[in-house]
Amino acid sequence: MKHPKALLKMCILSALTYFLCTQSTPPPIHIITFTVSEHVDQDARIAPFLPQIDTLFIESAKELFNTNDTALVRDTIDKAHTYIFTPKKHISILFERCKVKGFLLYDEVTHKTTIKPCFSINYFAIKKSDQRKGFGQKLLHYLANRKPYDLRLSVYKENFAAREFYQKQGFSIDSENQFEPASPLLHLIKKRVSC
């Protein structure tokens, strides 16, 4: 049985979501950000959106691993939940008319070489049927405007579509990871523009 506070949070969030989604003119696009406080499956604030987020995980993982094996992808995602959705991580979910269109999962960290705070993006997904509609750009713009931090992420060197997208959003190559010669990673950065 869930803790009474968790049930109360879930009821409030469900009521808020219901209210937003039943208005005659719900906000067309909105972003909600949570800081994960416990395991994601038990976090009452995120739980209502988890099925849609998992669908996005599966869709993007199938594309990333170039497979249609849902069982393999599901197993990978279940393992990833314990690593990716850990306390103190942030998740920003983009909705259009109450449907999850994409999300960003990130940490607020201090970069090891620059000793400056930054947002380190761990996972970024936009529903495949909604790509190239500006949702990814909106999420990155939202994150860039939360705090005056650099944005950092890693992308597979061979993922040319993702690299092109990030370059259009102002990211540049910071370094390359040579530890995985079969699938090298590029570490990208979008530096915060100082006023």
| Mean pLDDT, the chain, whole residue set | 77
- The answer to pTM > 0.85 is no
- On whether residue 58 sits in a domain, the answer given is yes
Identity of the amino acid at 185: L
- On whether residue 32 sits in a domain, the answer given is yes
- On whether residue 152 sits in a domain, the answer given is no
List the single range of 7-21, 23-37, 101-115 with lowest mean pLDDT. Answer: 7-21
Total number of domains in the chain:
1
- On whether residue 55 sits in a domain, the answer given is yes
135: domain CATH number is 3.40.630.30
**Tens digit of each residue's pLDDT (9 = 90 or more) over 127-179:** 989 999 999 999 999 999 988 899 999 888 888 888 999 999 999 988 887 66
Please give the residue range of the domain that contains residue 127.
4-17+27-146
- On whether residue 159 sits in a domain, the answer given is no
- On whether residue 44 sits in a domain, the answer given is yes
- For residue 38, what pLDDT is reported? 62
- On whether residue 42 sits in a domain, the answer given is yes
